[in-house]
Amino acid sequence: MKKKALITLLFALLVSIILPVTLKPEATSKTSKPKASYLMNPSKTYIYKDNFNTVYTYKYAKKFGWKGNQGWNLWNVSESENGKVTNKYTAISKETKNGLYSGLSKSNWLVDLKYPIKKGRTWTRVESDNEFDYTITSVNATVKTPSGTYKNVIKLHSSDSEYTYYFAKGIGLIKETYEQQYVLELQSIRNK
């Protein structure tokens, strides 16, 4: 009896030592992060401008979540025209080992990037009951915006809507175009 208990104890000890070493981080955590992050930095304030001269200011508010879906970043967004605030709302963003997600806090979230990042990767994104196919067309684009020049940018194209999105590591979305015309650009990033 003592021998059986000793063997069981040794087996349990062996498993407790070997199992954590052999499992990949993704297998031990559903919310593990990818190697390179494309999530907006909560310690920064992001300022975008669209082709109608509307300015969008994103300021991190707090961590946000609901039962079974924790870990979202909540952003306060203000829209302004000619220096006057015209609209305020909140947006959410989250990054996991599977992708980068965003949305408005009172609506569904969208898949912005599907991980792992690789040229040619395609997925379907549902927007307002419409389905659009998105493809990563470049992983090393160089993109210039008023906030700076970014290298190794992810270029993402929607084959159905003619939108193209550009994401920089450690920054997030830096530019959006429609039929190759500027729609939205990152103007500046400031410390909070």
Q: What is the pLDDT of residues 76-85, one digit of tens each?
A: 999 999 999 9
What confidence score (pLDDT) does residue 36 get? Answer: 87
Query: Span 179-184, mean pLDDT?
Result: 88
Using the predicted structure, report yes or no on whether residue 67 has a pLDDT greater than 80. no
Helix, strand and coil content of the chain, in percent to the nearest 5, comes to: 15, 60, 30
Q: Which amino acid is residue 37, in one-letter code?
A: S
Using the predicted structure, report yes or no on whether residue 100 has a pLDDT greater than 80. yes
pTM of this prediction?
0.79
Query: Span 56-78, mean pLDDT?
Result: 90
Task: Of 62, 51, 52, give the one whose Cα is nearest residue 91.
Answer: 62
Query: Span 138-150, mean pLDDT?
Result: 97
CATH architecture of 2-191: Beta Barrel (2.40)
Cα separation, 175 vs 185, in Å, equals: 4
